[in-house]
A and B are shown apart, each in its own frame.
Chain A
Amino acid sequence: MTIPLAGVILIAVAIIGGAIAMGAFIWAIRTKQFKDLNTGAYVIFDKEEPVGEMTDTTFGYPEKNNPKK
């Protein structure tokens, strides 16, 4: 049974698309797009809700930290 033309087109598109994506990824790394990546994880915290403090203590809170609310 012959491989349908559709399959060939799809595989070609996938390879070209994958190559473009790979190229974009390498470009992003080289131009340092990812430099500030790890700081991104911290944007959800602020001065009142800093790292290290629970923000939901509906069932009570651990005695050691978070004595407020």
Chain B
Amino acid sequence: MMFIRAYVFFLGVLATLFLGWAALTFIPGIQIKEIKPLPGLKPYTEQELRGRAIYIREGCVYCHSQQTRPEGFGVDQRRGWGRPSVPGDYVYDRPHLLGTMRTGPDLFNIGARQPSEDWHLIHLYNPRATSPGSIMPPYPWLFEEAEEAPEEFYRMQGKRVVPVPEQFKPKGKVVIATQEALDLVAYLLSLNHTYPVKAER
């Protein structure tokens, strides 16, 4: 008798887990699979994917979201963060980087909102150089230091000098962006979903 009860118990236990799984992931997955990428959404380039990998490596997702909320729910549109995001915006995202914290602003459309490469490079080198009061970490290892010299000198070598303000850069040196910094910025600039949502269904 008790033998039968134990089996019933285990069956019930498995049923509750799989019911939840079916409801929350399996069935929505089928529903979402029908959704095509929006026409304005372009796949990531090689460089942008490298940059995305650095975004993941440095854990940017723990402070920044990449999802804009619906109209009237929060004030994302009134902050100029973009139209509400939809599933078709994320088709090429693997892994997803939707994020659950806004210690820093949402980045879904940061490429549209802040298109300046220099701004991003300075900001990554030390966020407080562009944004006083910011608590974002600095990423100096994405940059190199070199002896002070005219920018021309480095540009002819194919190196990108970052115009970091005087009080934030090491004395007598210039800050040069590494490939990683350029890749990360390329990724950030690709975050531009201002193309319209095509009416579906």
Closest-by-CB residue of A relative to B30 is A6
CB-CB contacts below 8 Å: B17-35 with A:
19, 22-23, 27-28, 30-31
A10 contacts chain B at the CB level, 8 A cutoff: yes
User: Interface centre among A4, A6, A9, by most B CB within 10 Å?
Assistant: A6
When the two chains form their complex, are residues A33 and B5 in contact, meaning their CB atoms are under 8 A apart? yes
Tell me how far the C-beta of B34 lies from the nearest C-beta in chain A, rounded to whole angstroms. 11
Complex Cα gap A33–B9 (Å): 13
* A13 to B28 CA separation, bound complex (whole angstroms): 15
Most chain A Cβ neighbours within 10 Å, of B5, B23, B28: B23
- A10 contacts B27, CB within 8 Å? yes
Main secondary structure of the interface of B (DSSP, over half): helix
Task: Report Cα–Cα, A17/B23, bound state, in Å.
Answer: 13
CB-CB under 8 A from B22, the residues of chain A are 10, 13
Query: In whole angstroms, what is the CA distance A6 to B31 when docked?
Result: 8
| Contact, CB under 8 Å: B23 / A4 | no
CB within 8 Å of B: which of A1-19? 4, 6, 9-10, 13, 17
A17 with B19: CB separation less than 8 A: yes
Asked if B15 is an interface residue, CB under 8 A from chain A, the answer is yes
A46 to chain B, nearest CB (A): 20
B8 contacts chain A at the CB level, 8 A cutoff: yes
The answer to whether B15 touches A17, judged by C-beta atoms less than 8 angstroms apart, is: yes
Write out the residue numbers on chain A whose beta carbons fall within 8 Å of the beta carbon of B30: 6
Q: How far is the CB of B17 from chain A (nearest CB, A)?
A: 13
Interface residues, chain B, with chain A CB atoms under 8 Å away: 5, 8, 15, 19, 22-23, 27-28, 30-31
Given contacts A6-B30, A10-B27, A17-B15, 10 further A-B pairs with CB under 8 A are A4-B31, A6-B27, A6-B28, A6-B31, A9-B27, A10-B22, A13-B19, A17-B19, A24-B8, A33-B5
In the complex, 6 of the A-B residue pairs with CB atoms within 8 angstroms, ordered by the A residue number, are A6-B30, A6-B31, A9-B27, A10-B23, A13-B19, A24-B8
A interface, CB within 8 angstroms of B: 4, 6, 9-10, 13, 17, 24, 33
